[in-house]
Chain A
């Protein structure tokens, strides 16, 4: 499985930015949303192309179904 990372920055005003790296699909939001829930208020979110990619495990599952 690909390496999954979070890059978190906390600036001198206390503002937090969470960036997910290598986490595909909606799951990448889970981590960021969990931190938003415990910290306070979500100000913005930006979804990039990785969000719309399907994880390899899901794709394999669909292939199996199609062969039947």
Chain B
């Protein structure tokens, strides 16, 4: 018997922390980050494009200022993560010959994975500060991460 609590994470982080979460998340979905020199060639203008703003997010302004973005690609599908004017995490996704609804579905999946990675790192950091020990960690087939923690 136990207490069970469900929590929806709100991403509050600076850009380097977001970059780390995005890099870890997109890797699990087969996307690879593009270098700055590769970003100039845009995916064809005729392709569909979707934009998703993550309401539950706040990207803290750093001295680097605006213009921060991460571009990742898989099979001609390009996803661009950036900080929007309101300071939220924004994802633009385009290409791959996919329809707008297919792109939205994929984009939401990507955002979900980024949130998952962010939550994972926050939790693990907090547990270490409390001197708690992770005794088991698994990733299930549906990509759920399961962690068991002991107090001593």
A binds B: yes
Task: List residues of chain A with CB under 8 Å of any chain B CB.
Answer: 3-21, 23, 28-29, 32-36, 38-51
Asked if A32 and B144 sit within 8 Å, CB to CB, the answer is: no
Asked if A7 and B146 sit within 8 Å, CB to CB, the answer is: yes
Interface size class of B (residues with CB under 8 A): 35 or more
**10 A-B pairs with least C-beta separation:** A14-B115, A40-B10, A50-B1, A13-B112, A32-B5, A12-B143, A48-B1, A16-B7, A40-B9, A43-B6
How many angstroms from the CA of A68 to the CA of B115 in the assembled complex?
56
Q: Which of B5, B113, B149, B151 contacts A17 (CB 8 A)?
A: B5
Q: Per DSSP, are chain B's interface residues mostly helix, strand or loop, or mixed?
A: mixed
How many angstroms from the CA of A14 to the CA of B130 in the assembled complex?
22
How many angstroms from the CA of A10 to the CA of B151 in the assembled complex?
20
Inter-chain contacts of A43 with B (CB < 8 A)? 6-8
The interface-forming segment of B35-43, B63-71, B97-105, B116-124 is B116-124
Indicate whether A40 sits within 8 Å of B3 (C-beta atoms), given known contacts A10-B116, A10-B144, A11-B116. Answer: no
